[in-house]
Chain A
């Protein structure tokens, strides 16, 4: 697992490869997201247009990909993420905009974010990735299914590098676990080890 670059973000804490690199001063999700965005110091105005889930996935991917060099073609790099709550925060916003006929103002800027795969789309746009893409909705991080699918993609030459992980956000919780896996290291990574790593990070974030 030592070859797997990963980030974990939850409870106002940001871990890179198991190391706590940022402890947010503000417990509020939106403010912490901005802290991570500023910590990473990459200006990207589109960030401010994103919904909370895309922002979360985006900052995780920015930290993960910082200083990460690769020579793969656009179509050889993809993303597969899992998520539990789909786009519940922005879903509720859209629902609120249509629940009253006297104040009926559905917004396209909101509506477009009511799809969980928009977060992978944002990361692809930022980095020029054009490879395999998927979002699975799961009751909790399912390392076994994710690793099975990633291995199928690598074994059958469908990709050379992938971002994988679990990114989830609700009104009072958020969590992002994201890693880079490639044709060199994918065989070394076992699903149970990956799951244990995730559990360990989750516990560390809760006690940090």
Chain B
């Protein structure tokens, strides 16, 4: 199953986040420099106030009821909040371009904790025990749409989203499927907030990736979807096409909850992605880094990007806009990269003022027009996992 000449074209995408619903609206908010990170006072999430990025529930329910006509399950079937998030994001992509549901479509869900709120007693009563299982919630989403293939769940901590796109593109390039629908979702839950609090890794302000005063991350929730295909007939009339040109994953082999001290793990993922894309580091035009704003993660990334020879390329983190959306982060941020390639713009790294890294990076300080051909998206996570994916803009006349 060597890669064929097939290209994994990005056909449509969607984001729902604390900023807004829809890729276009999210991009407008990003270009305007808005942050979705706010003070959250909600006893059901945490006993004290904390900074986080939350999706508007009313809007979510409204959007979900608007798309209920697409539901292939019985009308009275009850969906969880997590499932609604994933489905609404997918519907955004579907409205732009209807993805096929047949045997040639691969469906992947990227998430870390899915329906984790169903561990609470009152929810177990309502939804049953099995629904907490990630394969089961993926199956519910599959059935909503009526995909013929089984759902596949990728759960590789915070790199899941980036890895899911890379993985789907591999299956397309190998010719095993013609289309892929990749959705990533994770939500704010008491489970996750209390866990990160116990790690003391949350900032009490809007986070400051790569800055010298960075002191932790903000949790966020979001869902995003990318529909890819090898079938050119799905491409719209525009002359510019974005493809997934390479991807890889790796492990630090260092510590389960602390990033590598050398950055070589992340470097291996970047090298693997470059190798598949058939380009050199100097052909990358900008990097959308992981940038959680914890002291050690950002330090590790400065080493990895320097090892890869990318430290002088424009680099940003989007965590101060969306918070850290865990299994959805890589998907949401990849959609932004795809849109940046189409718009030929780069977005400032919100929260950054002064270099706080042992090896300085070229952090983007102003949102501006910028010529882009190849863009790199990276991610790192607990368990020592890393992933990288490269998106490239190609001219339609060349394919």
Residues of chain A touching chain B, judged by Cβ–Cβ distance below 8 Å, are: 74-75, 78-79, 84-86, 88, 91-92, 94-95, 97-99, 101, 104, 106-108, 111-112, 114-118, 120-122, 124-125, 127-139, 142, 145, 148-149, 151-153, 155-158
Interface string of B254-277 (1 = CB under 8 A from A): 111100000011001001100110
B194 part of interface (Cβ distance < 8 Å): yes
Out of B3, B176, B257, which one reaches A112, CB within 8 Å? B257
Residue contacts A-B, CB under 8 angstroms, 23 given: A91-B116, A98-B190, A108-B198, A115-B155, A115-B383, A117-B382, A118-B256, A120-B383, A124-B251, A131-B251, A132-B248, A132-B272, A133-B383, A133-B385, A134-B249, A137-B155, A149-B167, A151-B1, A152-B170, A152-B174, A155-B2, A156-B170, A156-B276
B329 part of interface (Cβ distance < 8 Å): no
Does the CB pair B253–A155 fall under 8 Å? Answer: no
Q: Which chain B residues numbered 1 to 49 have a C-beta less than 8 Å away from chain A?
A: 1-3, 47
User: In the bound complex, what is the Cα–Cα distance between A125 and B198 (angstroms)?
Assistant: 24
Residues of chain B touching chain A, judged by Cβ–Cβ distance below 8 Å, are: 1-3, 47, 112-113, 116, 119-121, 132-136, 138-139, 150, 152-157, 163, 167, 170-171, 174, 176, 190-191, 194-199, 248-257, 264-265, 268, 271-272, 275-276, 381-385
Does the CB pair B256–A133 fall under 8 Å? Answer: no
Give A83's nearest chain B residue, CB to CB: B155
CB distance from B233 to the nearest CB of A (A): 25
Does the CB pair B112–A115 fall under 8 Å? Answer: yes
User: In the bound complex, what is the Cα–Cα distance between A86 and B131 (angstroms)?
Assistant: 12
User: In the bound complex, what is the Cα–Cα distance between A122 and B154 (angstroms)?
Assistant: 18
Chain B residues contacting A75 (CB-CB under 8 Å) are: 250, 268, 271-272
Known interface pairs A98-B191, A117-B157, A125-B255; A134-B167 also in contact (CB < 8 Å) = yes
CB distance from B298 to the nearest CB of A (A): 20
Does the CB pair A115–B157 fall under 8 Å? Answer: yes
Known interface pairs A95-B119, A151-B1; A128-B198 also in contact (CB < 8 Å) = no
